[in-house]
Structure formats: structure tokens, C-alpha cells
Chain A
Amino acid sequence: MKHTLKYIFSICLVFSLFLVQAQETTTLKNTIDSTSTEAIIPDNGNLKTVKLPEEQQQVVVPAKTNRYGLRVGVDLYKLTRGLYDSDYKGIEFVGDYRLTKKYYLAAELGNENKTTDDTRLNFTTKGSYLKAGFDYNAYENWLDMENIISIGLRYGFSTFNQELNSYKIYNANPYFGEIPSIASGEKFNGLTASWIEVVAGVKAKVFDNVFMGFSLRLNLLVSNKTPDNFENLYIPGFNRTYDGDFGVGFNYTVSYFIPLYKKKVEAVVVPKKPQPKR
């Protein structure tokens, strides 16, 4: 429930960013209207439509440029969770590099230290992870907007260790009474796991070069080196494991775009609209 609420709040925040952008675009729309081939000239109080000279009808939109560069940022969710959750410490850096108009190389690098307190188990997972892959931007930006609605793939790899703090023995026949949790302290070192991640994300430019983003991830375990007499119930970067190989994740990022070079977009001639015959 707690997690569901977090998702809703984050979605609302991302949507609020879009509202900011929406206002900007209305002003931009007016400049497009300037390509109108008709002008209205007041003539003794009577409005009269006058045809503009022929040369002016072929208006070419100024050459559009796309900025290419590196975007680096940090996951705010992981960063701030440590402030209110004493069982969690984590950080995740995100980065992407624009390869072509639509494709971005993307990566996440993180470290987590999480103590999971379940009803029957209490264990601490510590480790680092790296995810690398690409994002495909499916959003068609207007003019110089640089927003992203993307779908992408990552390959994730994590190296970590686990410590079993305490556990309970399941006894369906507690004739001699339930016994309390047993302290363990057993350590499982040198564990690794790798997975494939499908990422659906949104990044919105809030102001110059600063982006706020949000992404949802579906993970599928590829390899999982489990310890003897225990399981990898939490994998840094992958998050909680379930009975199957699937997992989910999300992040909420703020990032800074470092422009490296610009590329001109092919000038587009706005096609003349057929004049209605009178």
C-alpha cells in the first residue's frame, strides 16, 4: 500500500511538470500562425481580406536543431528514502547519451544497503549494481522541446552479500509452544545476479538543461547465484525477488543535460493550404 501511494504521488508530480510545459507551447503556437497566408486589414470599419503577395506564401520554418549530449542525474527516491527509513541506505546515479534522434545509450549505477524485516526473516543485503542499455524516445517534440517518453532495455548486473540476522522456524504443530526468533548472523558473501529490464520512462525539461524523470521497470532474472541454505530475497538494483524470475522497480530522477554538439534537422517546408474558392 505504501508503495502504491508512492507511485501515485510520483505520477502526479510528473504530470504537474507537463502542465508547466503546456503553457509554454501555447505561446509558441502563435509564431506558427504567422505563416498564415491571409492578412486582415481594416478598411473604413469594414473588415476586408487581402491576399498577400505570392512570394510570402512560401514561408520556410527556421532550421531546427537537436542538441546532443550527456545527461547525468540521481535517483531522488533512493536518496531520500534513507532519511525516513532507517533500514535503507542507497544511491543511484543515472546517465544517458544521445546517439541518434531517437536512441539514447542509458545506464544506471547504484549501491544499496537494505535490511528486510519480514514476519519470519530479517536479513541485510549490501551491494552494488550496474545497468546498461538503451532508451528509444517515442515522443515527437514540438520545436525545441526536449521531452522524452521512452521505452528501453537494460542488462543489469549486481554483486552483493547477505547477512541473515534472525529467523523463525515454521512449525505447524506447536505442541511445545512457539519459539521466538533465532538470532543467526550468518553471512553469505560473493553473491551475484544478472537480469534483463524493460524500462518505460518519462523525462520532462523543467528549466534550462534540468530534467525531472520517472521510470517503471519490469525485471527478468537471467542468472542468480544463491547461497546454500538461503535465497537471494533481495537483490540490489533488481529489488525484491518473487517465486518466479520476475521483479519490478522504479526510479524518480533529477538530471542535468550537458550539451556537447548540435545537429540540424532537415528544414521542413510547410505545405501551402488549399485556398477555399469563393
Chain B
Amino acid sequence: MKKIILLVLAIAFTFSGCEKDDICDADTITTPRLVISFYDINNPSELKSVTDLTIIGEGKTEGITFNESTLVNGSTVSIPLKIDADATSFSFILNYGNSDTALVNEDELKLNYSRENVFVSRACGFKTEFTLDPITPYVHTDAAVADEKWIQYIAVKNSTIDNENETHLEIYF
């Protein structure tokens, strides 16, 4: 009998100590980023790596950090979308900071989407899931300094953005 009371006491104390301690686990799927894969326009089934690509969001001066660097050298990149607006514009600058200014090329990409806030947990709160606009998912323009678009073709692979495990947008260049 006494043992039961002691046990209940012990468990109760254990639980009472847990309040407010819970932290959102890093493995939890929260607000996803948009995953872009780069393909070769001449060989559309082959991934193609970009060189020193910098992506700068509208109203920002710093590029998006991906894998601890603002310069992307690889065939995929994940970029965060604004969670308080239904459109986000980005500047995609190839060969950023290259001394040969002829190689530097800037394109503007505006993404249109709808948002839905989904409950995750007490510790994480909510997350935002995006769905790319079915009619005009993106608007592709050249930068203010006309230097011909380096992006040749854009295709929407998955319009629903609810995780980062799949490619949402394919860019051919």
C-alpha cells in the first residue's frame, strides 16, 4: 500500500517537472522550404550543377544560406517562402561575385502560392504548408540590368509544398 502511494508520488513529480520543458524536435516536419532541382536544357533527364548561384529574397541584401553557404554549387537548393504573404520574389544570380562580370547573370523569379497553417504540436505550434498557384505558379523576368535570362525553362513538379523530401520546381538551363 505504502509502496503504491510512493510510486504514484514519484510518477507525479516526474510529470510535474515536464511542464514547459518540451522543445520542438528538429526531426519534426515543420514549415517546409521550396526544393528546386537544376537540369540540363540540352539533356533534360540529367541534373546539372549551378556554379556560385546566389538567391536573394526581395527586400534582403544577404543571400539565402544553404548548407552553410550563400553560394550554391550543386544541382538542388531549398529556399524558404514568406509565411505572411502569398507571393515571394527572388533574384537568382549565377556566378555571383565573379570578377568576370560577363559571366554574372541575374534572373527574377516570383512565386505565387496559397498558404495553410497546420497544427503540429504543443512544442512546435503550427506550420505553414504552401500550394503553388495552379494558373500562374511563377513569373520569370530578367533583372533590371538586361543580360538575357539564364533560366531557359521552368516546370512545376509538385505544386503541394508540405515536405522537403521531394522536388517542387525544376529549372532547366
Residues of A within 8 A of B (CB): 1, 3-4, 7, 118-121, 138, 149, 151, 167-176, 179, 182, 198, 200, 216, 218, 229-231, 233, 240, 242-243, 246-248, 250
Contacts and interface: CB of A to CB of B under 8 A. Distances in A.
B164 to A, nearest CB: 10
B37 interface: no
B125 A168 contact: yes
Given A120-B124, A151-B4, A179 B84 contact: yes
B135 interface: no
Given A7-B13, A218-B11, A229 B128 contact: no
A138 B31 CA distance: 54
Given A171-B83, A175-B57, A218-B8, A121 B122 contact: yes
B145 interface: no
B4 A120 contact: no
Interface string B2-20: 0011001101110111111
A229 B64 CA distance: 31
B1 A216 contact: no
B64 to A, nearest CB: 6
Contacts of B16: 3-4, 7, 248
B19 A169 contact: no
Interface in B108-125: 117-125
Contact of B31 (A118, A119, A172): A172
B127 interface: yes
A240 B22 CA distance: 13
Contact of A242 (B12, B15, B57, B82): B15
B19 A216 contact: no
Q: Which bucket holds chain B's interface residue count?
A: 35 or more
Given A170-B31, A216-B12, A242-B15, A233 B122 contact: yes
Interface string B56-89: 0100100011000000000000011011100010
Given A149-B1, A240-B19, A175 B125 contact: no
Q: Report the 10 A-B pairs with minimum CB-CB distance, sorted nearest first.
A: A120-B125, A173-B80, A170-B30, A3-B16, A200-B8, A171-B31, A138-B1, A170-B124, A248-B15, A168-B125
A7 to B, nearest CB: 7
A120 B122 contact: yes
B128 A3 contact: no
B153 interface: no
A174 B62 CA distance: 13
B128 A169 contact: yes
Contact of B1 (A151, A170, A171): A151
Interface string B85-98: 00010000000000
B79 to A, nearest CB: 8
B130 to A, nearest CB: 12
A182 B11 CA distance: 36
A171 B83 CA distance: 9
B126 A167 contact: yes
Contacts of B126: 120, 167-170
Contacts of A179: 83-84
